[in-house]
Amino acid sequence: MAVDHEKIIYPTEYVHPVDESEVIPLPFISLRGKLIRHTFPGVPNYESIEDGDYPEIRWVVEVTGAEIARLIGLNYFTENLYSPDQEGWIQLIAPDNIESLLPFLNKQVVVKGYLGTLISHIHTPVTIEAKEIYDDS
């Protein structure tokens, strides 16, 4: 991984499904949004931290309605996942340590990576596995 507080580039690795059948093709996209951290309710019920669920802090890209509409127009996902006239959240999966993302916290960024839902425990309709992140200001 290369880091310089202006840009992060992660090495690309191929993703294979668990059953080792075919390689799952995921679109490699660029999206713009604000990088935030959010605390979601976790185990055991994934419903409420106040009622005893463990807090899970995750990186999220807060995407504008215009960006959502652009991604829907490109057929990366459908309106049943996100509304094109509302902002949405896309959980960010960074293959390296979280400290590398701290310079981008609460900033407008461009994320290049694989869009999908490969991991089983996510908090947003889709995820982006980041391969490159840079400041968009």
The domains found in the chain, sorted by start residue, are 2-135 (2.40.50)
Output phi, psi for 54, to 5 deg. Answer: -70, 135
Tally of CB atoms within 10 A around 128: 28
User: Strand runs (DSSP E) across 14-123, as ranges?
Assistant: 28-41, 55-63, 88-93, 108-116
pLDDT of residue 37: 93
What is the mean pLDDT for each group of 10 consecutive residues in the chain (137 residues)? 49 45 69 93 85 89 92 82 85 79 94 78 84 89
Rounded CA gap, 121 and 21, in Å?
22
Rounded CA gap, 98 and 66, in Å?
28
CA nearest to 63, candidates 26, 110, 122, 133: 110
CA nearest to 69, candidates 112, 27, 31, 34: 31
Close Cβ partners of 92 (under 8 Å, ≥ 6 residues apart): 35, 58, 59, 60, 61, 101, 111, 127, 128, 130
pLDDT of residue 78: 79
pLDDT of residue 33: 96
> In the chain, what is the straight-line distance between the N-terminal and C-terminal CA atoms, in Å?
23
- Quick one: which H or E segment has residue 71? helix 65-73
